[in-house]
Structure formats: C-alpha cells, structure tokens
A and B are shown apart, each in its own frame.
Chain A
C-alpha cells in the first residue's frame, strides 16, 4: 500500500490528480457538460417549434410527458446540478489558488451539497413521473 502511494506521489501528475477525486470530478464535469449541451441542441429546436404554432409545439412537448422521458429528465437535472456545483468549485480554486491544497475537502463538500440537494429534487420529480403513469 505504502509503495503504491509513493509510486503515485512520484507520478508525473503529482499526488492530487491521477485516479483520485480530482480526476473523477474532471471526468464527471466533462461527461455532464456533454450531456447538457446535447440536450440543449434538442431543446432549442423543440422550443423553436412555437414559431410553427400550437399543433407542432404541443405534439413535440408531449414527448417529454412520457414516464421514461421523465426519468431521463431527472438525469438531466442531476447532470446540470453537478456541473453547476463542480463549476463553482473550479472557479473558487481559480480565483483563490491556495484552495488547491484543500481540493479533496472541497470535492467532498461539493458532493455532499449535491447529494443533499438532489434528494428532495429527485423525490419531487419522481412524483411527477408517477402522476404521468396514471
């Protein structure tokens, strides 16, 4: 164990990053960002349909009221919230570089805040999905 830790410390990327919280939050930031922008492409186009009248817009928006799409909607909100909170952490370190030494704690705090916010949001949104099933 100790040797593995030393090997990590000696690594090119230093002890803080590779295979640790920093790398995971970096990867998640990219994945959630891509998820959100891909949805946004669709969302700009579906909202643009208001320019083509009620029939076109309502038909497409009804797709979002499907329960399966409702669960995907919860995933989208989860991605948005993670990207937002993790982005705030990144900016905090950008503007106060000394915080880099607290990175592990900041990430744990970010994840804690994220989970605490996601629980009530998930409950409310799953209730919406349940009402769509009936």
Chain B
C-alpha cells in the first residue's frame, strides 16, 4: 500500500522519495508525505477527490458539451429547468467544491515547487486557501439560493 512505501521510502534507484527534493519522484505519483501533517491529508484529498471527480466531471462534460446538442442550448431558461432537480444542484455543487479545492491545491503544489523561503511558502499557501474559500462560498450561495421564478418571462 501507499502508506507502507511512504514509511519505508523507495529504493534510491527509483529516485527521490519522501523528504528528498520535491518533484524528484520517479514513480508517476507524488510520494505520500512521510508524516501525517497537513500535506499528508492534502495528498489523500487529491486522490479521493480525483476519483470522485473522474465520474462527476466526465459525466458533466458528456452531458453538457458532447451529447444533447452541446452548449448551444444552454441559456438562463435551461439552467432554470435543470436546477429544479435536486440531483443536478447537488451534482453541480459537488463538482464546484471538489474541483475548486482540488485545482487550487494543485496550483499551490506547483507554486511551492519553485519557492524556497519558508515565509513566502506559508504566505502563498494561505493566499491559495483564501481564493478557494471565496470561490466555493460564492458558488455555493448561487447554487443554493437560485430562484428563477423571480425573473419575468421565465417558465418555472
């Protein structure tokens, strides 16, 4: 299992391993961090959210962009009908939260590969967290408060 390799480290012939210079992993994935701090749980989150997002996002892409005529049919009325279903509201909200957090953490990991000073690393990390919280909050408010019947000429 992944945890065992994290504890024992990988043989030198396979490159870096935990604690080595970041980005040196020979195996395709980033090594699981060796201690169970925040970075370990981020590593776990990227895998768990990744699996869920494969299904949710590919479903979303096929439904909205490939089948059924693509985005040509998408307008306010389309959203009004679609978001009457709790299924689609929940689906879209899950994609919002998981994809934003997964993507922001991805950006953060990439940025930290190029930043050395500890203070700057902490500041950059927190900047990404704040951007993520703001976007998730904005999207959540819209998804859960959307009421198309407020607008004239919309069938709902």
Chain A interface residues toward B at CB < 8 A: 12-14, 16-17, 22, 25-26, 30, 33-34, 36-37, 40-41, 44-45, 47-48, 50-51, 53-54, 57-58, 61, 64-65, 73, 77, 80-81, 84, 87-91, 93-95, 97, 100, 103, 106-107, 121, 124-125, 128, 131-132
Inter-chain CA distance A58–B27, complex, in Å, is: 46
Chain B interface helix/strand/loop/mixed: helix
Contact between B76 and A50, CB atoms less than 8 A apart: yes
Known contacts A44-B139, A57-B76, A125-B66: A65-B71 contact under CB 8 Å: yes
Chain A interface helix/strand/loop/mixed: helix
Q: How many B residues face the partner with a CB closer than 8 A?
A: 52
Known contacts A40-B100, A90-B28: A50-B1 contact under CB 8 Å: no
Chain B interface residues toward A at CB < 8 A: 1-2, 5, 13-15, 24, 26-29, 32, 47, 50-51, 53-54, 57-58, 61, 65-67, 69-72, 74-77, 79, 96, 99-100, 103-104, 106-107, 110, 135, 138-139, 141-142, 145-146, 148, 150-151, 153-154
